[in-house]
Amino acid sequence: MTVQPTVESIPAGVAVASGRSTVAVHAGSERPNAHHALTPPVVQTATYTFADTADLCDFMDARMWGAAKGRTEYGRYGNPTVAAAEAKLAALEGAEAAVLYSSGMAAVTSTLLTLLQAGSHVIITDDSYRRTRQFCLNFLKKFGVECTVVPMGDMAALEAAIRPVTRLIISESPTNPYLRVLDLKRVADIARGHNIKTLVDATFATPLNLRPLEYGIDLVIHSATKYLGGHNDLLAGVVAGSEQLIALLRQQLWMLGGGLDPNNAYLLLRGLKTL
């Protein structure tokens, strides 16, 4: 007999081997919610209050040392509704952390701008999302980043394309629209052997069918607009991975400003409950 996990046994950011539906409903939600609400409320605010100057100074000192947990001082730096959705998505992916963006493309572009710099090189498979390929081939070129496109699934071509300055391998699995499936473990092994990060778009699979991190992929990305939202009424993107990488992405998100608003985060939480 399989014992389904209880609400209390599903900490935020921890994957559960069984009972994915339970994780989709309950993971990431702190208890009790404000005003004892059953669902995480929409915290519709851009700024936050402090009890006094000493409270603010304590918060700023804690943030400087990376210890400011559970609150912020400005909406671009965090929101409780968004944080609840991020924690649920991290749990579904089996990731240490996740960060939400205003759209799938905002997630893609912010991630690439964070991980790449002038003089670096990126490899992308030819069946990846068209706008992602356009960003790599055209936009990043203006910042001195080169891109090589290789055939989906051709591991020999992938290895041949690697240069000393290659920093990232990007792919999608299953692909849109041809549903080609990537050998994730082999790609991860190749990349790790050359100290290269990997990013896989798993939008079509959802975490219920594929969790690339379990195969050694560094970052998984989704257009949450699709299956994760589920009702065709929101735009969102998410990246999940290690705490270290997500912290780096979050720092750049605060500067680039493409975060998710609390209303869409609430809609995403609703959609995830029926995933």
DSSP code per residue over 82-136: HHHHHHHHHHHHT-SEEEEESSHHHHHHHHHHHH--TT-EEEEETTS-HHHHHII
Is 141 inside a domain boundary? yes
pLDDT tens digits, 125-144: 999 999 999 999 999 999 99
The CA-atom distances, in angstroms, between 14 and each of 10, 80, 169 are: 7, 18, 26
| Beta sheet of 146-150, edge-to-edge order | 97-101, 237-241, 219-223, 197-201, 166-172, 121-125, 146-150
Dihedral sign for Cα 63, 69, 71, 77, please.
Answer: positive
Distance between CA 35 and CA 15 in Å, rounded?
28
> What pLDDT shows up at residue 108?
98
| Model confidence band, residue 72 (pLDDT cutoffs 50, 70, 90) | confident
Is residue 17 in some structural domain?
yes
**How does pLDDT run across 149-170, given as a tens digit for each residue?**
999 999 999 999 999 999 999 9
Give 92's pLDDT tier (boundaries 50, 70, 90): very high
Total domain count, the chain = 1
Question: For residue 15, which of 33, 27, 4, 2 has the smallest C-alpha distance?
Answer: 27
- Give per-residue pLDDT as tens, 165-202: 999 999 999 998 899 999 999 999 999 999 999 999 99
At residue 38, the pLDDT reads 86
Residue 49 lies in a domain: no
Report if residue 56 sits inside a domain: no
Q: What is the pLDDT of residue 13?
A: 44
pLDDT digits (tens, 9 = 90+) for 216-230: 999 999 999 999 999
pLDDT value of residue 36: 86
CATH number of the structural domain spanning residue 107: 3.40.640.10
In a domain, 72, yes or no: no
Share of the chain above pLDDT 70, in %: 91
Per-residue model confidence as pLDDT tens digits over 52-70? 999 999 888 887 666 566 6
pTM (predicted TM-score): 0.90
Two tokens, residue 181: 């499936």
The pLDDT, as a whole number, for residue 26 is: 86
Domain range holding 177?
7-43+79-273
pLDDT > 90 in the chain, percent? 79
Report yes or no on 65 lying in a domain.
no
7 pLDDT exceeds 50? Answer: no
Q: What is the pLDDT of residue 68?
A: 61
Region of poorest pLDDT, from 24-28, 148-152, 167-171, 244-248: 24-28
Task: Specify whether the CB–CB gap between 134 and 112 falls below 8 A.
Answer: no
Instruction: Please check whether residue 69 lies inside any domain of the structure.
Output: no
Note the pLDDT of residue 222: 98
- Note the pLDDT of residue 5: 41
pLDDT band at 98; cut points 50, 70, 90: very high
In a domain, residue 63? The reply is no
